[in-house]
Amino acid sequence: MITYNPKDWFTFIFRFHKADTLRKLAPLIAGICFYCWVILLLELHIFKLGESSHVKQITSMHTLLSFVISMLLVFRTNTAYDRWWEGRKMWGSLVNNSRNLAIKINSMLKGEEMAHRSFFRKAIPLYASVLAHHLHAESTRLALDETEHPELKTIDTSRHIPNQVASLIFQRVNLLYEEGKIKGDQLIVLNNELQSFTDICGACERIKNTPIPFSYSVFIKKFIFFYVMTLPFSFAISLGYLAIPVVGFIFYVLASLELIAEEIEDPFGGDENDLPMNKMASNIKKHVAEIIG
């Protein structure tokens, strides 16, 4: 995840980060500008349409559709950010619950229970590490896909590793109860943190393998494409060749919003703005080791 100073305006304006959408859209913007130049050449010099009624109708259409496309893109980006933020909240909960479980285990176990302490010092942060790896895996993203993927057959998907680690932690807690080293009410106190691990994993999997509905995403892309493709017809008369950079800029803005939404709707990927799960798992390991000495 990119860390930055939100008050440093000039750095944002004049620096092009590799995650900037302008880098990704540069070839398409160049193609749109060339297409716009061809339309202007045909409309102004060959067909010489001038102030025809058909051109005015196209302009009126763009006025009406501009509001529609703005609403669609606002909803698209808000939905994608909600998914990103929910993923961040889930991992924030995992950090807090890992600390709470370590604090409770440390207070319940006596100082001489070194074997049990060593187990929890390793097992609690291990869950965060295997969950990060599980969410990075391509097989997790395609868990609900009805299409066969032969390229993933070499991956062992028969075993759910985060569930196995959570099961080992719960088995050790239950063993402590059977040995009389923790009481029944203490077992109930630990249950919330133990259960939260699986709940967090399930919520992250829901975000990972349930993308934005296909028809909705395709419709927005088509809408942007045909909207931009018809802009030169209405801008040719009013702006002349100045319409070339204007149309290119409009395409850059609209397509950038869609690209940003595509990037943040899966917060568990490997993009620049995705969640730093490995870093958070490393912090969990550090904090748990400090608590369970």
Q: For 164-219, what is each residue's pLDDT tens digit? A: 889 899 989 998 888 888 888 888 889 898 999 999 999 999 998 888 888 888 99
Report CA-CA distances (Å) from 188 to 86, 111, 162, 174, 182.
Answer: 27, 22, 22, 11, 10
When pLDDT is cut at 50, 70 and 90, the band that residue 240 belongs to is confident
When pLDDT is cut at 50, 70 and 90, the band that residue 285 belongs to is very high
Confidence check: pLDDT of 151 > 80:
no
Confidence check: pLDDT of 19 > 70:
no
- Indicate the range of 45-54, 78-87, 97-106, 165-174 predicted with least confidence: 45-54
When pLDDT is cut at 50, 70 and 90, the band that residue 48 belongs to is low
| Average pLDDT score, the chain | 83
**pLDDT greater at residue 160 or residue 5:** 160
Confidence check: pLDDT of 146 > 60:
no
Confidence check: pLDDT of 155 > 60:
no
When pLDDT is cut at 50, 70 and 90, the band that residue 51 belongs to is low
Task: Quote the pLDDT of residue 254.
Answer: 92
pTM for this prediction: 0.81
Report the range out of 98-102, 137-141, 227-231 with the highest average pLDDT.
98-102
Write a three-state SS string for the chain.
Answer: CCCCCCCCHHHHHHCCCCCCHHHHHHHHHHHHHHHHHHHHHHHHHHCCCCCCHHHHHHHHHHHHHHHHHHHHHHHHHHHHHHHHHHHHHHHHHHHHHHHHHHHHHHHHCCCCCHHHHHHHHHHHHHHHHHHHHHHHCHHHHCCCCCCCCHHHCCCCCCCCHHHHHHHHHHHHHHHHHHCCCCCHHHHHHHHHHHHHHHHHHHHHHHHHHCCCCHHHHHHHHHHHHHHHHHHHHHHHHHHHHHHHHHHHHHHHHHHHHHHHHHHHCCCCCCCCCCCCHHHHHHHHHHHHHHHCC
Task: Quote the pLDDT of residue 149.
Answer: 42
Instruction: Summarize the confidence of residues 266-283 as an average pLDDT.
Output: 88
When pLDDT is cut at 50, 70 and 90, the band that residue 153 belongs to is very low
Whole-angstrom Cα Rg for the chain: 27
- Indicate the range of 44-48, 107-111, 113-117, 245-249 predicted with least confidence: 44-48
